[in-house]
A = this chain, B = another copy of it.
């Protein structure tokens, strides 16, 4: 069925419905959106646009390109099950459908391998979809945005990694979400720590995922889970406990490099040396005020191979409902944890898994928890007295007198042609009051008022809405004057 056939069918059906007199059945149906979806009204869209602009400007400031990959990927790409005669069915415990949201690094890695791209700095912001049960009360929608920035390529250590943290710092500062902290750790430091604490190799992952719960569970509960549920020795658990309580900066990395136990792990030493290097770059970038080397940070995704990080809001003010509820029992949309608004890390192995020849392309990236940012911004707007403008209109072309529609339209077109954002009422003879009221309601700062006298004099009465001040401006200078008075619009 083609789109135009669908169009035709819909129209036919709707017409048929009218003919049938749909009125009786109409009353029984409540209009609604599909389960797990919602509309965004102009105010919400204005907030989203502001967030997008801030984030995209930052990505562009750092020289990023934009790419777009499809919303669904082949099952083979998602599961890594290539080839028909694969002996192992890797999908047994995991039945993705084309519609489930995938960790956004997967399509990116597929893109790089498929197009043989060996270095790129890119961002990607797109709606994605989930199939599993939506839970809107907990802010889980079937339709939501993912926002990613990644740097792929073989470079000298920790320089792109530091830039990712700089970007998180810039974005969170500019969005004015309140104070924040960026926790940093390294997969190699975690693995080395587990090794020197006596965690058996086959328990690394499961112990790691318990440590990951430290942001929402007490150490006692985490310890208990490790020992009672996961069978770790009490001694190992306590040693882990000592390390994961540590937080610091370059100094902590230096101290741990001297630590009797830690220094026995080659992996840990490599991670700690890089951590030192990272902090030296972060100092140059002037972002160490917010960045903490935190040994308890253990992000879930197993494809991270080096540095990992997560940004959390530390404000004690009112926590947005969606964000708070989201954090109650599970991770948020983008795989970030409680209070978290951004997260990421280095994943040097993923592209190689997709490349036919296994060629590696080292990658480091960050996902911004943009849906959470939206809901925080919406709550802030809700709480604030300041009105959110939903248009950018600079001037309303109005008249107090009758029969001036044509003159109003002519002037409006002149303004549009000069690049001025202008509105005019679609009425032959609107009341001046209703024209002014529209400006008040929608925050239009200026009114260009036409009357017989003004037309005769070749001027326009330019009124500033908030001060009610009016001055005559010659037609020839009107565009310039509007621009001058609305530089910030």
Asked if A102 and B303 make an inter-chain contact with CB atoms under 8 angstroms apart, the answer reads no
Asked if B33 and A45 make an inter-chain contact with CB atoms under 8 angstroms apart, the answer reads no
Asked if A100 and B60 make an inter-chain contact with CB atoms under 8 angstroms apart, the answer reads no
Indicate if A390 sits at the interface (CB-CB under 8 A): yes
- Give chain B residues whose Cβ lies under 8 Å from the Cβ of A350: 14
Q: Which residue of B is nearest A160, CB measured?
A: B426
Interface string of A24-61 (1 = CB under 8 A from B): 11111101111001111110011001000000000011
Q: How large is the interface on A (under 10, 10 to 19, 20 to 34, 35 or more residues)?
A: 35 or more
CA distance in complex: A68, B406 (Å): 34
Asked if A115 and B67 make an inter-chain contact with CB atoms under 8 angstroms apart, the answer reads no
Asked if B45 and A66 make an inter-chain contact with CB atoms under 8 angstroms apart, the answer reads yes
Indicate if A356 sits at the interface (CB-CB under 8 A): yes
Asked if A74 and B33 make an inter-chain contact with CB atoms under 8 angstroms apart, the answer reads yes
Q: Which residue of B is nearest A444, CB measured?
A: B63
Distance in Å: Cβ of A307 to nearest Cβ of chain B: 14
User: A34 is contacted by which of B6, B37, B70, B423 (Cβ under 8 Å)?
Assistant: B70
User: A61 is contacted by which of B2, B9, B356, B421 (Cβ under 8 Å)?
Assistant: B421
The segment from A86-94, A233-241, A310-318 found at the interface with B is A86-94
Distance in Å: Cβ of A360 to nearest Cβ of chain B: 12
Asked if A40 and B67 make an inter-chain contact with CB atoms under 8 angstroms apart, the answer reads yes
- Give chain B residues whose Cβ lies under 8 Å from the Cβ of A11: 103, 300-303
Asked if B127 and A127 make an inter-chain contact with CB atoms under 8 angstroms apart, the answer reads yes
CA distance in complex: A281, B406 (Å): 8
Indicate if A324 sits at the interface (CB-CB under 8 A): no
- Give chain B residues whose Cβ lies under 8 Å from the Cβ of A37: 70-72
User: A39 is contacted by which of B24, B111, B153 (Cβ under 8 Å)?
Assistant: B111
Q: Name the residue among A12, A18, A65, A98 with the largest chain B CB count within 10 angstroms.
A: A65
Q: Which residue of B is nearest A354, CB measured?
A: B31
- Give chain B residues whose Cβ lies under 8 Å from the Cβ of A96: 6
Indicate if A7 sits at the interface (CB-CB under 8 A): yes
- Give chain B residues whose Cβ lies under 8 Å from the Cβ of A155: 426-427
Distance in Å: Cβ of A241 to nearest Cβ of chain B: 24
Distance in Å: Cβ of A202 to nearest Cβ of chain B: 12
CA distance in complex: A11, B208 (Å): 14
Indicate if A10 sits at the interface (CB-CB under 8 A): yes
Asked if B31 and A113 make an inter-chain contact with CB atoms under 8 angstroms apart, the answer reads yes
Q: Which residue of B is nearest A61, CB measured?
A: B421
- Give chain B residues whose Cβ lies under 8 Å from the Cβ of A7: 103, 300-301, 335
Asked if B65 and A42 make an inter-chain contact with CB atoms under 8 angstroms apart, the answer reads yes
CB contacts under 8 Å to B, within A286-305, are: 286, 300-303
- Give chain B residues whose Cβ lies under 8 Å from the Cβ of A151: 426
Indicate if A459 sits at the interface (CB-CB under 8 A): no
Asked if B90 and A66 make an inter-chain contact with CB atoms under 8 angstroms apart, the answer reads no
CB contacts under 8 Å to B, within A224-252, are: none
- Give chain B residues whose Cβ lies under 8 Å from the Cβ of A76: 29
Asked if B25 and A86 make an inter-chain contact with CB atoms under 8 angstroms apart, the answer reads yes
User: A70 is contacted by which of B4, B38, B111, B334 (Cβ under 8 Å)?
Assistant: B38
Asked if A67 and B39 make an inter-chain contact with CB atoms under 8 angstroms apart, the answer reads yes
Distance in Å: Cβ of A157 to nearest Cβ of chain B: 9
CA distance in complex: A114, B41 (Å): 12
Indicate if A346 sits at the interface (CB-CB under 8 A): no
The answer to whether residues A10 and B416 also contact, given A34-B74, A68-B39, A101-B3 and a CB cut-off of 8 A, is no
Asked if A2 and B426 make an inter-chain contact with CB atoms under 8 angstroms apart, the answer reads no
- Give chain B residues whose Cβ lies under 8 Å from the Cβ of A280: 406
The answer to whether residues A9 and B94 also contact, given A41-B115, A111-B39 and a CB cut-off of 8 A, is yes
Distance in Å: Cβ of A124 to nearest Cβ of chain B: 9
Asked if A331 and B70 make an inter-chain contact with CB atoms under 8 angstroms apart, the answer reads no
CA distance in complex: A330, B40 (Å): 33
User: A63 is contacted by which of B27, B88, B409, B421 (Cβ under 8 Å)?
Assistant: B421
Indicate if A473 sits at the interface (CB-CB under 8 A): no
Indicate if A403 sits at the interface (CB-CB under 8 A): no
CA distance in complex: A300, B230 (Å): 65
CA distance in complex: A326, B416 (Å): 33
CA distance in complex: A115, B16 (Å): 25
Asked if A358 and B26 make an inter-chain contact with CB atoms under 8 angstroms apart, the answer reads yes
Interface string of A340-381 (1 = CB under 8 A from B): 000000000110011010100000000000000000000000
* Other A-B pairs beyond A12-B302, A63-B391, 6, CB < 8 Å: A2-B330, A6-B102, A7-B335, A10-B102, A18-B353, A170-B416
Q: Identify 9 residue pairs between A and B in the complex whose beta-carbon atoms are under 8 Å apart, listed by A's number.
A: A4-B300, A10-B102, A11-B302, A39-B69, A42-B67, A45-B67, A63-B393, A126-B127, A286-B417
